[in-house]
């Protein structure tokens, strides 16, 4: 074990980190959240900005009253903040607010100007389903392969570009994997995509909270044409997300959702749409969500994205080092602590032939450690990383369709946020060691339909913690 007090702690700038949660033995413990790749806790700056803004909150865009005008001003400022944060040029790019990354990808899929000749989208086998399924609905999708270690196979990327020469309209690729933390070389891929006459979209759901994003001007061959992000993964859980993309794309065509707030003229038989971004924000927007996202960005910028990356690389290197001490633990993807700075702090593993559901349950019920388990909305990637044969995969699909998820292949995933600390990793490693050695208190029962493990006799009164 190393020295476990980190040089810097960011705990103070977050909400709720000292809250104690109940354990199976009747005690309480400060919750350890290692599920940041799913959603992150709120920053205090976000809570304060929302509280402050709510006293002025009013309708945006069409109101003439002071509060409406102030709300419109704040909403538009939030838009500028997002553009600046991702290195976009407001003359070339627009920021369209929506619900989350999934909605942003779906919007681009419906709004992208495919042509008869160019109707292929290259994605990869490591994508989250949200950056795969929307494309299948509108284009021919080609999946670039991965290497056995779970990296994007760049040789296969080149091969696909060549094989579909003249037909690839768009490359849509993850900026960072939500399973292994792998960081595809997005700017190099962008250069190749552009050289092949295609555009590139980058799913920044995981990248945005952890790394600086720079879309670069459209004149730069390595620029990014579109990016997607979700505020709830960026410490601003108020239901917003953003699609930042080329203005020229959204100047064309009809919006995917139709209604108020996006039109210049409507007669009984004619519509003139507004310019972007309004054209693509039908209905009343989530103003509070946009303010929350901008407040989170201001806080992240004040800390500095390099400092964020450095702290998280320290956590990741330490976690990989400590986890590798457990002989029965298998890490998927890159497990070398020396390369911790070249990936995100997302680490998937399995231990001592115990099914992932059980490990996650014991960590939660007996140690107050929140992790994620399963397939992380990336089924093809998981099956490849785990070397699941086609025969086994067939059996798994059969079991799922029979509503039996008890033996679905999966992993346990820990994922770090800015506020996590080295001492929390020590607690996790100690817990995993105990689990490996069969030292745990509960008697667990597995639910057939969900596959989840529940401790017998466990009851908790959630109303005691939160109620309306
Ligand atoms: C890489 C990646 N893309 C897309 C998504 C979807 O994000 P959201 O659920 O916010 O739409 C996620 C969520 O985990 C993700 O990790």
Q: Dump the DSSP string for 399-421.
A: HHHTT--TT---EEEEE--TT--
If one counts every other C-beta atom within 10 angstroms of the C-beta of residue 9, the result is 13
CB 171 within 8 A of CB 225: no
Question: Does the CB atom of residue 102 touch ligand 1 within 6 A?
Answer: yes
* DSSP one-letter string for 425-453: HHHHHHHHHHHHTT-----EEE-TTT--E
Cα–Cα distance, 2 to 154 (Å, whole number): 37
**Length of the chain measured in residues:** 468
> What pLDDT is attached to residue 92?
97
* DSSP one-letter string for 358-374: HHHHHHHHHH-EE-EEE
Question: Does the CB atom of residue 205 touch ligand 1 within 6 A?
Answer: yes
List of residues 6+ apart from 326 with CB closer than 8 A:
351, 429, 432, 433, 436
List of residues 6+ apart from 227 with CB closer than 8 A:
86, 175, 201, 202, 203, 204, 208, 213, 215, 243, 244, 245
Give the distance (Å) from ligand 1 centre to CA of residue 98. Answer: 14
Report pLDDT digits (tens) over 408-430: 999 999 999 999 999 999 999 99
Nearest protein Cα to ligand 1, atom 7: 101
Three-class SS state of 13: helix
Atom of ligand 1 at shortest range from CA of 176: 1
Give the distance (Å) from ligand 1 centre to CA of residue 128. Answer: 7
Give the distance (Å) from ligand 1 centre to CA of residue 113. Answer: 24
Nearest protein Cα to ligand 1, atom 12: 205
Ligand 1 pocket mutation pick from 101, 348, 378 by most atoms within 8 angstroms of CB: 101
Q: Is the pTM of this model over 0.85?
A: yes
* Local confidence band at 41 (pLDDT 50, 70, 90 cut-offs): very high
If one counts every other C-beta atom within 10 angstroms of the C-beta of residue 78, the result is 25
* Local confidence band at 1 (pLDDT 50, 70, 90 cut-offs): very low
Give burial (CB, 10 Å; 0-12/13-18/19+) of 175.
buried
User: Where do we find the tokens 């798994």?
Assistant: 396
What would the two tokens of residue 200 be? 């590139």
What would the two tokens of residue 174 be? 């993850």
> What pLDDT is attached to residue 63?
82
Per the annotation, the verdict on 375 as an active-site residue is no
241 phi/psi in degrees, rounded to 5: -150, 175
Task: Please give the mean pLDDT across all residues of the chain.
Answer: 96
Question: Does the CB atom of residue 174 touch ligand 1 within 6 A?
Answer: yes
Report pLDDT digits (tens) over 175-215: 999 999 999 999 999 999 999 999 999 999 999 999 999 99
Q: Which residues of 367-400 are buried (b: 16+ CB within 10 A; e: fewer)?
A: bbbbbbbbbbbbbbbbbbbbebeeeeeeebeebe
* DSSP one-letter string for 287-311: HHHHHHHHHHHHHHHHH-HHHHHHH
Residue 451, phi-psi category: left (phi > 0), alpha (psi -120 to 50), beta (remainder): left
If one counts every other C-beta atom within 10 angstroms of the C-beta of residue 131, the result is 28
CB 451 within 8 A of CB 408: yes
pLDDT of 3 above 50: no
Give the distance (Å) from ligand 1 centre to CA of residue 178. Answer: 8
Question: Does the CB atom of residue 180 touch ligand 1 within 6 A?
Answer: no
Question: Does the CB atom of residue 100 touch ligand 1 within 6 A?
Answer: yes
Catalytic option among 160, 204, 375, 377: 377
* Local confidence band at 465 (pLDDT 50, 70, 90 cut-offs): very high
Question: Does the CB atom of residue 206 touch ligand 1 within 6 A?
Answer: yes
Cα–Cα distance, 458 to 467 (Å, whole number): 20
What would the two tokens of residue 208 be? 């945005």
List of residues 6+ apart from 289 with CB closer than 8 A:
97, 231, 236, 238, 239, 240
> What pLDDT is attached to residue 378?
95
pLDDT of 217 above 60: yes
Give the distance (Å) from ligand 1 centre to CA of residue 99. Answer: 11
* Local confidence band at 7 (pLDDT 50, 70, 90 cut-offs): low
Report which secondary-structure segment, H or E, holds 227.
strand 226-230
Question: Does the CB atom of residue 131 touch ligand 1 within 6 A?
Answer: yes
Weakest mean pLDDT among 55-69, 126-140, 295-309? 55-69
Report pLDDT digits (tens) over 73-119: 999 999 999 999 999 999 999 999 999 999 999 999 999 999 999 99
Residue 374, phi-psi category: left (phi > 0), alpha (psi -120 to 50), beta (remainder): left
pLDDT of 258 above 80: yes
């Amino acid at each position: 074990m190393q020295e476990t007090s980190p040089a810097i702690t960011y705990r103070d700038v977050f909400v709720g980190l000292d809250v104690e949660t109940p354990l199976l033995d009747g005690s309480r413990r400060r919750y350890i959240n290692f599920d940041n790749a799913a959603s992150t806790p709120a920053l205090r700056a976000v809570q304060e900005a929302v509280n402050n803004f709510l006293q002025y909150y009013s309708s945006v865009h069409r109101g003439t009253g002071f509060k409406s005008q102030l709300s419109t001003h704040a909403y538009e400022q939030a838009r500028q903040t997002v553009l600046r944060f991702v290195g976009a040029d407001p003359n070339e790019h627009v920021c369209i607010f929506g619900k989350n990354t999934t909605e942003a990808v779906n919007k681009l899929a419906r709004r992208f100007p495919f042509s008869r000749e160019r109707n292929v989208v290259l994605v990869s086998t490591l994508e989250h389903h949200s950056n795969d399924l929307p494309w299948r609905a509108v284009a021919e999708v080609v999946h670039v392969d991965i290497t056995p270690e779970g990296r994007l196979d760049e040789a296969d990327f080149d091969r696909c570009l060549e094989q579909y020469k003249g037909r690839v309209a768009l490359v849509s690729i993850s900026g960072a994997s939500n399973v292994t933390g792998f960081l595809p070389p997005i700017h190099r891929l962008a250069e190749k995509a552009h050289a092949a006459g295609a555009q590139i979209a980058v799913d920044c759901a995981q990248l945005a909270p952890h790394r600086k994003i720079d879309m670069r001007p459209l004149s730069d061959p390595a620029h990014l044409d579109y990016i997607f992000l979700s505020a709830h993964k960026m410490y601003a859980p108020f239901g917003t997300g953003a699609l930042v993309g080329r203005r020229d794309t959204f100047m064309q065509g009809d919006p995917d959702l139709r209604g108020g707030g996006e039109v210049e003229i409507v007669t009984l038989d004619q519509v003139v749409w507004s310019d972007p971004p309004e054209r693509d924000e039908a209905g009343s927007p989530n103003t509070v969500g946009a303010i929350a996202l901008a407040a989170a960005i201001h806080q992240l910028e004040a800390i500095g994205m390099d400092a964020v990356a450095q702290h998280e690389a320290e956590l990741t290197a330490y976690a990989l080092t400590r986890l590798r001490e457990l002989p029965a633990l298998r890490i998927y993807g890159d497990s070398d602590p020396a390369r911790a700075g070249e990936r995100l702090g997302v680490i998937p593993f399995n231990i001592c032939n115990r099914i992932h559901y059980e490990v996650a349950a014991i960590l939660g019920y007996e140690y107050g450690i929140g992790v994620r388990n399963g397939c992380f909305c990336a089924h093809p990637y998981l099956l490849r990383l785990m070397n699941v044969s086609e025969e086994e995969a067939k059996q798994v699909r059969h079991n799922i369709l029979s509503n039996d998820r008890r033996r679905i292949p999966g992993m346990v995933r820990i994922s770090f946020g800015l506020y996590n600390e080295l001492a929390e990793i020590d607690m996790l490693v100690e817990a995993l060691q105990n689990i490996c050695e069969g030292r745990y208190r509960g008697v667990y029962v597995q639910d057939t339909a969900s596959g989840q493990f529940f401790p017998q006799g466990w009851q908790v009164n959630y109303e005691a913690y939160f109620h309306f």
